Amino acid sequence: MALWDIFRRTQPAPRRRALMDYLPGGKVPRVGGSGSGFVGALHDRLTADFKGSELSADAAIFQSLDSLRARSRQLYMSNPYASRFLQMVVSNVLGRDGIRLEARTRRAPGGELDLADNRLLEAAWARWSRAAECSVDGRSGFLDIQRVALMTLARDGEVLVRLHNAGAFGLQLELLEADRLLTRHNRDLGNGTQIRMGVEQDRHGRPIAYHITQRGTGDNPVVAYNLGQGGGAQAERVPAEEIVHLYIMERPGQSRGYPWMAQAMRSLHMTDQYREAELVHARVAASKMAFYTSPAGDGYTGDDIDGDGALVFEAEAGLIEQLPAGMELKTIDWNNPNADMGEFVKSCLRGVAAGLNVSYNSLANDLEGVNYSSIRAGVQDEREAYKSIQRHLMDHLLDPIYQAWLTAAMTAGAVPFPPRKRDKYEDVIWRPRGFSYVDPQKDQSAFERAVALGTMSRQEIAAAQGKDFGDVLAELAEEERRAYELGVNISPRQTMPIYPAMIDPEAQAKGDFGDNQEDQPDG
């Protein structure tokens, strides 16, 4: 039999039916023969190990979530690249000051900003953001909660924030790890209502309640049980209004999140194991580089003998031993360190960086061979990913917490605003951290040209750096005022122009070009 006979089909392949074959109206001739369709869907000997998945999002997560979360936590504790990735996320998304609230209430819809009310609202939020008022345990301020929530979101794939009616402002927060929401708690409650991995939801997928376990023995609440069958652990049914469930939905109908390192997890582990093996190999090679041989095969007894009867010798740097009579010294070239190790690890880490959606240079802390154009392209793409995470936090964590805080604070009388005007104080924006320039001179020149051409505003430039343009103007005005009082000219402008459109006609007729009256709060 020829070699190629083993690849020949013994029976003709079954005819593949076209889409129209399944439609009413009879058979429709196929067009294109066996080569039609998507190459990615072909089934042959080269794709025999290429298994697809028809599982829904929840079914796939149910099978793997607990293992993925446990491995992700282990990687964070032991793998330097995994730890750096999580620290990069927190540093680039939140920065030093976190995401800050900026009140934008107006005197009337579409009218001018109510500066007095905005100051009062921001001051009240700042008082609540302190650890004593913000968290139920009194140990975490709102910035701490942002950081821990984001770290947990990236490491575990999800995090729970429970809203408690407590404190002077009527609201305090409690962070809960996602394993308090049991993956194996599933039940059909009828009428389309289901409990999916601890999340009770209606037939449209809207969360109704969360079934959260109490802390178990050893702070390990993960108990494999079915609540409907009366397991050992007990779960508390918490209404959805009291829970902020933070995770990134990637597929329709997805009820839970999974660790962000899932796609890169295997490569991270294998790369770390390879680096450790090379390090051990190099250490042994550097410690002892010779063996003893004798014609009779004996004479050297080693340092000890293990349980299997094998000789054991100590490998120490700079160790020199005297040869027994009749024995020769045979050196061994270990070929370590491996000259190709660096390039191999780089190749592995590039794949890991792609899976983590960050640049290789940032993850590996390797700036070798980069220039302005290459690093700018990588940094720009990476920063867009961080901005997307910032947007997600604003919409799904910060805004729900603020809305709950506003209602609770008004009800408790902790803010000097009447509850009937609540809608006015919903108008706030969030100021995330900005990003420094890759090349400040080039980027500033580009901004200057954009402003001159009218394609970009100064407010956009300030927002890109995480600053409020109003605060910038106020700081500039205060600088110039103090310099003027001291007789120092620090302004590049010789005079401050006054535009006629900025002056009220009636005030102009009276000769009044300014208004020094302090805004009063709307109460």
State mean pLDDT over 288-295.
58
State mean pLDDT over 272-295.
73
pLDDT tier at 343 (50, 70, 90 boundaries)? confident
- Of 325, 349, 364, the residue that ends a domain is 364
Question: What's the token pair of residue 228?
Answer: 């409907």
Please state, in angstroms and rounded to a whole number, the distance separating the CA atoms of residues 132 and 172.
Answer: 9
Q: Are residues 122 and 237 located together in one domain of the fold?
A: yes
Pick the range with the lowest mean pLDDT from 52-66, 212-226, 264-278. 212-226
Query: Is 24's pLDDT higher than 50?
Result: yes
Query: Is 264's pLDDT higher than 90?
Result: yes
Q: Are residues 338 and 229 located together in one domain of the fold?
A: no
pLDDT tier at 362 (50, 70, 90 boundaries)? confident
> 172 lies in a domain?
yes
> 388 lies in a domain?
no
Query: Is 270's pLDDT higher than 70?
Result: yes
Q: Please indicate whether residue 150 or residue 214 has the higher confidence score (pLDDT).
A: 150
Q: Are residues 238 and 157 located together in one domain of the fold?
A: yes
pLDDT tier at 210 (50, 70, 90 boundaries)? very high
Please state, in angstroms and rounded to a whole number, the distance separating the CA atoms of residues 409 and 400.
Answer: 14
Burial class for 299, CB neighbours closer than 10 Å (0-12, 13-18, 19+):
middle
Please state, in angstroms and rounded to a whole number, the distance separating the CA atoms of residues 152 and 161.
Answer: 11
Q: Are residues 194 and 315 located together in one domain of the fold?
A: no
> 515 lies in a domain?
no
DSSP for residue 396: I
> 406 lies in a domain?
no
- The per-residue pLDDT for 245 is 97
Question: What's the token pair of residue 479?
Answer: 């600088």
Query: Is 281's pLDDT higher than 90?
Result: no
Summarize pLDDT for 379-408 with one digit per residue, the tens.
788 889 999 999 999 999 999 999 999 999
Pick the range with the lowest mean pLDDT from 20-34, 181-195, 226-240. 20-34
Q: Are residues 316 and 213 located together in one domain of the fold?
A: no
State the residue for tokens 């729900």: 400
Query: Is 519's pLDDT higher than 50?
Result: no
- How many other C-beta atoms lie within 10 A of the C-beta of residue 211? 20
Q: Are residues 188 and 66 located together in one domain of the fold?
A: yes
Buried-state track 392-419, b at ≥16 Cβ within 10 A, e below 16: bbbebbbebbbebbbebbbeeebbebee
pLDDT tier at 301 (50, 70, 90 boundaries)? low
> 458 lies in a domain?
no
Q: What is the CA radius of gyration of the chain?
A: 33
> 328 lies in a domain?
yes
Query: Which H helix or E strand runs over 187?
Result: strand 187-190
- Of 329, 364, 399, the residue that ends a domain is 364
Query: Is 232's pLDDT higher than 50?
Result: no
Pick the range with the lowest mean pLDDT from 103-117, 251-265, 406-420, 462-476. 462-476
Q: Are residues 198 and 313 located together in one domain of the fold?
A: no
Alpha helix segments (H runs only) across 36-114: 57-78, 80-94
- Of 196, 211, 246, the residue that ends a domain is 246
- How many other C-beta atoms lie within 10 A of the C-beta of residue 111? 8
Pick the range with the lowest mean pLDDT from 151-165, 256-270, 307-321, 467-481. 307-321
Residue from 282, 351, 292 nearest 317 by CA: 282
> 285 lies in a domain?
yes
pLDDT, the chain, mean: 79
Residues of the domain holding 324: 265-364
Please state, in angstroms and rounded to a whole number, the distance separating the CA atoms of residues 372 and 156.
Answer: 35
Contacts of 293 (CB under 8 A, 6+ apart): 327, 328, 330
Q: Are residues 313 and 213 located together in one domain of the fold?
A: no
Structurally, the chain folds into a number of domains equal to 2
Query: Is 255's pLDDT higher than 50?
Result: yes
Residue from 226, 56, 77, 232 nearest 151 by CA: 77
Summarize pLDDT for 489-512 with one digit per residue, the tens.
776 654 544 444 444 555 555 555
- The per-residue pLDDT for 312 is 58
pLDDT tier at 434 (50, 70, 90 boundaries)? confident
pLDDT tier at 7 (50, 70, 90 boundaries)? very low
Q: Are residues 280 and 190 located together in one domain of the fold?
A: no
Q: Are residues 296 and 228 located together in one domain of the fold?
A: no
pLDDT tier at 130 (50, 70, 90 boundaries)? very high
Query: Is 272's pLDDT higher than 50?
Result: yes
- The per-residue pLDDT for 33 is 44
Residue from 12, 41, 98 nearest 401 by CA: 98
Q: Are residues 230 and 84 located together in one domain of the fold?
A: yes
Q: Are residues 237 and 319 located together in one domain of the fold?
A: no
| Amino acid code (one letter) for 209 | A
Alpha helix segments (H runs only) across 218-308: 265-287
| Amino acid code (one letter) for 46 | L
- The per-residue pLDDT for 518 is 44
> 347 lies in a domain?
yes
State mean pLDDT over 445-473.
80
Please state, in angstroms and rounded to a whole number, the distance separating the CA atoms of residues 283 and 281.
Answer: 5
Pick the range with the lowest mean pLDDT from 38-42, 47-51, 338-342, 353-357. 338-342
Q: Where are the beta strands (DSSP E) in 391-445?
A: 428-431
- pLDDT > 90 fraction of the chain, expressed in percent and rounded: 41
